Structure 1
Amino acid sequence: MLTAADEWHVHQTPEPLASSGTDRNFYDRSYFGAFRAEDGLIVAAAFGMYPNLNIADAHLTVVRDGVQHCLHASKTLHSDRATLAVGPVSIEVVQPLQELRLVVDDGTLAADLRFRGRHFPIEEPRFIHRFGPRAFMDYTRMSQAADVTGTVTVDGETLALDGVDGLRDRSWGIRPVGLPDPTPLMPPRDPQFFWLWTPVHLPDRTLFFHVNADAEGRAWNTRAVLVPHGATPEDHVHAHGRMTLELHPGTRWVSGAQLEVQADDGTDLRLTYTPRAHLEMQGLGYRHPTWTHGTPHGEFELGHERIALDHEEHGALHRWHRQLLCDVVVDGRQDAASGVLEHLVIGPYRPLGLT
């Protein structure tokens, strides 16, 4: 099946670009985040294509004054991978790997934001994880810190963002999307997943750290890297990190954290995180009861909702995945640092006493 995307010289198989191998779970997604530490404003968006499901979806979510405002959109893709738009949400690639524009043209929740990269994106280790012979994840992700400028409109008020801290990532490959696979794992096993992602904006550089771990706390994918502003790939400083967490009693929500980093250039850092505000990732479609990634909604559907972040529904799986906007103290000094601590813990995780 030939499509407009085939005019781009980006083929990597003998197939037209409408084909993405044979795995139904193939996806291609962008994430954007903007964070204003002084008042706890969080703006985030996600845009995903699922070529073998023939679906695309997009989300915008804004946290302000303890309320999370959400926009969700879904469409039938019709194998059009050249059009980066779902309803009111669109992405413009102004300069590849350096500047992108996110536009959400909606009367209820809107945004017009530019993300200008502070460095060449980092490429994280390839995420490959299997349950027995079955592939659960197999994907690549790049991440980048950014300066964000533009506007966001919520509750009829337009807010200006001027050079605030931003993040974006691009990932593509295989991970569970759409309706769940009805075929059970053999032999049967209980669900288990542990994930941390914590970029920290330092005055002249960005620290990235992430880890996926098994129930015993053994990492199956992890990386730490220090990236100076303006860095090329050769300037990225590889490191090793170890994070300890505190949880709100009786929950899987992080209340505080410490991160120790030893870099290959001899830099040693100890960072302490104090949450200031948080965002629920269901607002971007992650495990949302209705708008989870790759779920069919017909030719086109648009929805809005508000999430009361002070509602303590800690037993609901779709509320476990969070991003915390944190004040970060570095080495005991009150340096000008802020960070994001994203976490999701499903099933047992012995280091935190979770079963």
Structure 2
Amino acid sequence: MGGYRIEVIDPLRSLRLICEHPDLSMDLTWEGSFEAVLEDRHVLLEGTRPMLDASRFAQVGSWSGTLSVDGRDFRVDPDVWLGTRDRSWGIRPSGESDPPGRWAAEPREGFWWTYIPLRFDDYAMVVILQESPDGHRTLNHASRVFADGRIERLGWPRLEVDYRSGTRHPECARVHLTTPRGEPLLLEVETLGGVPLSMGAGYVGDPAWSHGRWMGRDWSESVTYDMTSPDVVGMLPFNVVDHVARATCNGDVGWGLFEHANMGRHEPSGFGGWGDMAE
């Protein structure tokens, strides 16, 4: 098990996360605020080859316990430390890279992705979208789950993102949803800082390691990134970034995640290639 382990206390409701390392340690308990949401099946093709064929559940909740970073201790108060989690299974890119072949000679034109799990006082919302460079939507899920377990599907979301000039950094977004009764529902999201997933998290693009790669028995590592370093700043436009999000919906205020990437060509956003940025 090593110094990192997860203990399931109550399936799909409560778990304990433990990490024991000189630089970073924690003993945290997760409590789901609402039932987990089963998202729609996610299939991603490279030409005719399936790169990803997976299912996933998402849940919003809160954390409690203790966290220590470089010798500094933090008390994790569940009234303040809100969070989201998801769990996926199926086929997805992981482990050692495939040898170069056809797809190396036919590089991807772009990658557009949006994932928005949010916790409000009386309900949770989950929106997950993916589109090809021409705007064709390959994944669409939008739902709202209430404390009594009711789930509403919220139609075919229309997303408007305001990017910071000269970048592809999303400053805010509006998600136009539709209730089961056909009524419009506007979700407004403001981003409040973020973490690039290709720096230390093991996602695609991480130069050091990736999910499923063999790093050696009993391997552990801690890494610190200077987010102002030119080497890091130069990678930011080519990342999936998890932004802390403040959201409003019909006067309700919620908090959660705005995970977004807009790389390369995406015609609905007005970007024609990898070097295009917002005006």
TM-score scaled by length of structure 1? 0.69
The one-letter amino acid paired with 2:154 is A
Match of 1:219 in 2: 137
Structure 1 residue 319, shift from structure 2 partner: 5.7
Question: Match for 1:254 among 153, 163, 170?
Answer: 170
Matches of 1:177 and 1:147, distance apart in 2: 29
Matches of 1:204 and 1:99, distance apart in 2: 19
Matches of 2:247 and 2:132, distance apart in 1: 27
Partner of 2:225: helix, strand, or coil? strand
Question: Match for 1:268 among 166, 169, 184?
Answer: 184
Structure 1 residue 249, shift from structure 2 partner: 2.9
Structure 1 residue 305, shift from structure 2 partner: 1.2
Match of 2:277 in 1: none
Q: Is the 8 A contact 1:225 1:263 kept in 2?
A: no
Q: Deviations over 1:11-66 (max 9, x none)?
A: xxxxxxxxxxxxxxxxxxxxxxxxxxxxxxxxxxxxxxxxxxxxxxxxxxxxxxxx
Change (3 A) 1:269 1:103: same
Matches of 2:261 and 2:216, distance apart in 1: 30
Structure 1 residue 252, shift from structure 2 partner: 3.0
Structure 1 residue 317, shift from structure 2 partner: 6.5
Structure 1 residue 259, shift from structure 2 partner: 1.1
- Please say which of residues 135-144 and 155-164 is displaced more in the overlay: 155-164
The one-letter amino acid paired with 1:133 is T
Question: Match for 1:175 among 89, 92, 101?
Answer: 92
Structure 1 residue 113, shift from structure 2 partner: 1.2
Question: Match for 1:122 among 37, 52, 66?
Answer: 37
1:79-158 to 2 correspondences below 5 Å: 85=1, 87-158=2-73
Question: Match for 2:201 among 284, 292, 298?
Answer: 284
Change (3 A) 1:311 1:268: farther
Q: Which has the higher contact order (CA 8 A, sep 6+)?
A: 1
Structure 1 residue 270, shift from structure 2 partner: 1.5
Matches of 2:119 and 2:223, distance apart in 1: 30
Change (3 A) 1:104 1:171: same
Change (3 A) 1:197 1:293: same
Structure 1 residue 135, shift from structure 2 partner: 1.2
Q: Deviations over 1:78-102 (max 9, x none)?
A: xxxxxxx3x3110001111111111
Question: Match for 1:352 among 264, 269, 276?
Answer: 269
Q: Is the 8 A contact 1:252 1:314 kept in 2?
A: no
Partner of 2:268: helix, strand, or coil? helix
Matches of 2:22 and 2:69, distance apart in 1: 9
- Please say which of residues 309-318 and 235-244 is displaced more in the overlay: 309-318
Q: Deviations over 1:129-169 (max 9, x none)?
A: 22233111111111111222112111322212222322111
Match of 1:324 in 2: 243
Structure 2 unaligned runs (5+)?
Answer: 274-279
Change (3 A) 1:265 1:119: farther
- Please say which of residues 150-159 and 306-315 is displaced more in the overlay: 306-315
Q: Is the 8 A contact 1:280 1:321 kept in 2?
A: yes
Q: Deviations over 1:277-318 (max 9, x none)?
A: 211213321131112212221223211111223446454269
Q: Is the 8 A contact 1:280 1:319 kept in 2?
A: no
- Percent identity of paired positions between Structure 1 and Structure 2: 27
1:326-345 to 2 correspondences below 5 Å: 326-331=245-250, 333=251, 335-345=252-262
The one-letter amino acid paired with 1:243 is L
Matches of 1:294 and 1:117, distance apart in 2: 27
1:209 aligns with 2:127: yes
1:18-37 to 2 correspondences below 5 Å: none
Alignment coverage as a number of residue pairs? 265
Matches of 1:263 and 1:185, distance apart in 2: 44
Q: Is the 8 A contact 1:117 1:146 kept in 2?
A: yes
Matches of 2:103 and 2:210, distance apart in 1: 25
Matches of 2:35 and 2:188, distance apart in 1: 27
Partner of 1:129: helix, strand, or coil? strand
Structure 1 unaligned runs (5+)?
Answer: 1-84
Matches of 1:341 and 1:280, distance apart in 2: 12
